[in-house]
């Protein structure tokens, strides 16, 4: 069991290090760069930095979709890690996982379309307004 705990902790630490690297390097959004359209992830870096400062309102203005999805993704990763340590089957192999991912992808696509429409410019990342 100790080996499983170390593996799960290593994966979670790697994910955290990846997030940290993205925040430090701040790579540009290639979709925005090449198409001029905001993707569902545009504003995520600014959102996380605003959350680290404790500015929830600014975080909401940067990316409302990921403000809801990222905490759920963190909880999911922790849940999978616990299940792995306890030698339980992974959640991603359950029957309802694929439909849930497809619904999430559809919501992300809808958010992407809406935030690029003139009447929904309030969904665009707040950093573009300044």
Give the Cα separation of 66 and 44 in Å (integer): 7
> What is the domain range of residue 122?
2-128
Q: What pLDDT, on the 0 to 100 scale, is given for residue 69? A: 95
Q: Are 5 and 85 in contact (CB under 8 A)?
A: yes
- Cα 22 to chain centroid distance, Å, stands at 12
Q: Are 85 and 69 in contact (CB under 8 A)?
A: no
Among residues 29, 38, 66, 61, which one has the least CA distance to residue 126?
A: 61
Give how many domains the chain has, as a whole number.
1
Task: For 47-68, write each residue's pLDDT tens digit.
Answer: 988 998 999 999 999 999 999 9
Q: Are 85 and 1 in contact (CB under 8 A)?
A: yes
pTM to 2 decimal places:
0.80
Task: For 28-44, write each residue's pLDDT tens digit.
Answer: 888 999 999 999 989 98
Task: For 108-117, write each residue's pLDDT tens digit.
Answer: 999 999 999 9
């Amino acid at each position: 069991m100790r080996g499983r705990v170390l593996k799960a902790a290593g994966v979670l630490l790697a994910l955290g290090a990846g997030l940290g690297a993205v925040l430090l390097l701040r790579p540009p959004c290639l979709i925005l760069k090449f198409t001029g359209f905001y993707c569902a992830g545009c504003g995520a870096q600014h959102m996380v930095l605003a959350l680290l400062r404790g500015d929830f309102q600014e975080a909401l203005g940067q990316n409302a979709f990921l403000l809801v999805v990222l905490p759920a993704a963190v909880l999911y990763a922790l849940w999978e890690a616990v299940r792995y340590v306890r030698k339980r089957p992974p959640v991603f192999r359950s029957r309802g996982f694929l439909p849930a991912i497809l619904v999430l992808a559809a919501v992300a696509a809808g958010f992407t379309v809406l935030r690029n429409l003139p009447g929904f410019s309030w969904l665009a990342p707040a950093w573009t307004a300044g």
